[in-house]
Structure 1
Amino acid sequence: MTGFIIRKFIKDYENVKDINVRQSYGTVSSIVGILVNVLLSFSKITIGAIFNSISVMADGVNNLSDAGSSIISLVGFKMSGKPADKDHPFGHARIEYVTGLVLGIVILLVGIELIRSSLNKIMNPEKTMYSAAMIVVLVISIAAKFWLSGFYGKIANKISSATIKASSMDSRNDVVSTFVVLVSVIISKISGYEIDGYMGIVVALFILYSGVDILKDILNPILGEMPEYDFIQSIENKILGYEGIINIHDLVVHNYGPNRYFATVHAEVDAKEDILKLHDLIDNIERDFAKDLDINLVIHMDPVITDDDEINMLKCKTGEIIKSIDEKLTMHDFRVVKGDTHTNLIFDVLIPVDYAVQSSELVRIIENKIKKENETYYAVVTIDKNYVSTYMNNPYRK
């Protein structure tokens, strides 16, 4: 069914990097969500009102909020597809994150209101009537929500959408909450015990859990999360695959919405090579990234000396000292400046963003260890932070 809907309503559906195709995926998923949830909501609220079941009505209200969330997603996809303008030079794709945030907040508010209604039912109990129609509606709802969760999940993976992934998670939780309501209806019908209000609270708690889970997933890209390891590894491998690139470091990746990446990196090249040839190499890499990965990459070129035995020896020795302090540390941009009375060893040290040791203390430790090797060596250290999810960019890896 999912494949049929995609093929029927989305032109050029395989070209997911195209902004118009991606917007079509978002539009189709939102419309399907609206239709399914409105039908389920109408059925449950009607049945719940007829037979005086707060848990069934609560489940119906939850579906109504899902339909509202799909409307928000629809508007968000339309707005996020707007091209860049003078006030938003990186485009509007982050609006999709904002709509996901609104979706999570709406779900939390619905959960809180349903807890209030359920508590009122417990404190002021009214007899609930049960029927086969109620059970049939709940079973159909479970099947529909199970399919909708899979439908959302496939599209979310296809276009890397945090908002649609949130909808998939919400639908998955709805399957559980509706199943709980179904079980409560059957138990009450068989045993005669009135547990409707309590089951309403259980449903509301599932809704609140879903809302918190969605907010956590949405807030991460808004705040600026660490890029995935495989993604960073693919960038590093691609750059290092070009002949003439010795090593890379200081890779930083910025996310301006799903599949909207801007990146900067330092690339080490042989200082003996012709500068115009190296500049052409860098230009080619940047163009290839724009064409192949749709990443706006800016490369800073770092010329390094590779054929000086003394510099290579000092570089290797300094790298060993850094590793002896902590295996997580790496070094780059190593240079040597000799003087009459001392020699400056100039280099950068890369640390994790959550490194426990203060930068000033780390510099002091490095300076002292290098000084112990030779009194005439002075370390000039710059501390850099690692903003990507791998320590692969290590000049000393084999």
Structure 2
Amino acid sequence: MTEIDRYEESKRVTIVGMFVNTFLALIKIIIGLIGQSSALFADGIHSLSDLVSDVMVLFAAKHANKGADFDHPYGHERIETLATVILSVILMVVAVLIAYHAIENWYFGELLIPDTLTIYAAIISILANEGLFRYTMRSANKINSDLLRANAWHSRSDMYSSVVVLIGLIGTMLGVVWMDAVAAIIVAYMIAKMGVKWAWKSLSELIDTGVDRETLKQIERIISNVNGVKKYHCLRTRKMAGQIVLDVHILVDEHVSASEGHYIAEHVRGMLAERVDDLKDVTVHVDVSEHPEQFVSPKKMPPARDVIIKALNDHLSKYGDSAE
């Protein structure tokens, strides 16, 4: 899928989400205020944060899929990762505010019996958010976007929070007046948990954490099984918006030609691209002898060919001969 296709898919899904979240935020905030339910009002604020995240997703999807340029030779995918971190922080801040408001009302005894209308609003929110989650996740898997996945789970967390709100509303109407406040606190915990999860994953990507052990072992098996590869070293991996970037040094027979060494390297690249999912780029360096992974000072390396030939010519010139 091209970068343009990825952007168009992200744009379409996000715009649909914006309409749904705008509708839900207005319904829950207004009915939460009128119906005297702090849990439903908090859930409306959660939907409002969904709307903010949708705007961020739209911005990130546009700029993250520009492709490589002079200033960004590896592409702009990290914009998507950074946006995911910001979205996660918003989730955690919203969670703290919701919990604080609910605990404050509970502590000061400002607990009221909600109106029946609040139950209908909660049911509408459950159905709408579950539908939005499935719709967004389908597109996220189609274009392999962690940002869209984060946004999809944002909708799923909103659905779960609405379920908790519904239970709290029913309990409160049955006489257990503190259940609405407890529901709001549970909603806050669920929101915060999701925010921490996605923030951790995205921050790990920003500091170039490698792929998981299973994927790494798969990569190692593929490289080892390519004909002509004696050994490999300096294998490094990192991720950019869910896609893998790796580089590796392969050791080939010292007597092969430069073109054959290049052929073996291209074979490694091709096999990795064919068998490793979500591989963005591969760099293969060909070695004919093992060397340490750290930099080697040029002063400690053997002399270059032209230096050797010059020294040999200087020596042979004494006898009227030449190495040329």
TM class, shorter-chain normalised? 0.7 to 0.9
**Could you say which residue in structure 2 is the equivalent of 1:363?**
none
- CA RMSD between the two structures: 2.7
How far the C-alpha of 1:218 sits from its partner, in A, is 1.6
Partner of 1:202: 186
Q: Structure 2 vs 1, CA of residues 127 and 275 (structure 1 numbering), >3 Å: closer, same or farther? A: closer
Alpha-carbon distance in 1 for matches of 2:132, 2:90:
19
Q: 2:3 aligns with which of 16, 19, 25?
A: 19
Of the three residues 227, 231, 241, the one matched with 1:243 is: 227
How do 1:298-377 residues align onto structure 2 when only pairs under 5 Å count? 298-303=283-288, 333=290
> What's 1:296 paired with?
281
1:259-270 equivalences in 2 (<5 Å): 259=243, 261-270=244-253
- Distance in 1 (alpha carbons) for counterparts of 2:161 and 2:115: 18
Q: Distance in 2 between matches of 1:210 and 1:296?
A: 30
Give the match's secondary structure for 1:270. Answer: coil
- Residue aligning to 2:257: 274
Instruction: Tell me which protein shows more strand as a share of its residues.
Output: 1
Q: What corresponds to 1:135 in structure 2?
A: 119
- Give, in whole Å, the separation in 2 of the partners of 1:88 and 1:262: 15
Letter in 2 for 1:265: V
The one-character-per-residue Cα deviations of 1:279-314 (angstroms, maximum 9, x if unpaired) are 34335654776799764322222326xxxxxxxxxx
Alignment pair present for 1:100 and 2:84: yes
1:227 paired to 2:218 = no
Q: Which runs of 5+ in 2 are unaligned?
A: 294-324
Provide the C-alpha distance between the structure 1 equivalents of 2:31 and 2:53, rounded to a whole number of angstroms.
23
**How far apart in 1 are the matches of 2:173 and 2:112?**
12
Map residues 18-57 of structure 1 onto 2, 5 A cutoff: 18-57=2-41
- Residues 275 and 75 of structure 1, relative CA distance in 2, 3 Å threshold: closer
> Which protein, 1 or 2, shows the higher relative CO under an 8 Å CA cutoff with sep ≥ 6?
2
> Helix, strand or coil: the match of 1:193?
coil
Secondary structure of residue in 2 paired with 1:250:
strand
Distance 2:287 2:162 in 1: 60
Secondary structure of 1:22's counterpart equals: helix
Report the CA distance between 1:182 and its aligned residue: 0.6
**What percent identity do the matched residue pairs reach?**
27
TM-score (norm 1): 0.66
Q: Counterpart in 1 of 2:65?
A: 81
The one-letter code matched in structure 1 to 2:84 is G
Alignment partner for residue 196 of structure 2, among 198, 212, 229? 212
Q: Which amino acid aligns with 2:13?
A: S
**Aligned-pair distance for 1:118?**
1.8
Matched AA of 1:119: I
**What amino acid maps onto 1:201 in structure 2?**
I
TM-score, normalising length: structure 2: 0.79
Secondary structure of the corresponding residue to residue 247 of structure 2? strand
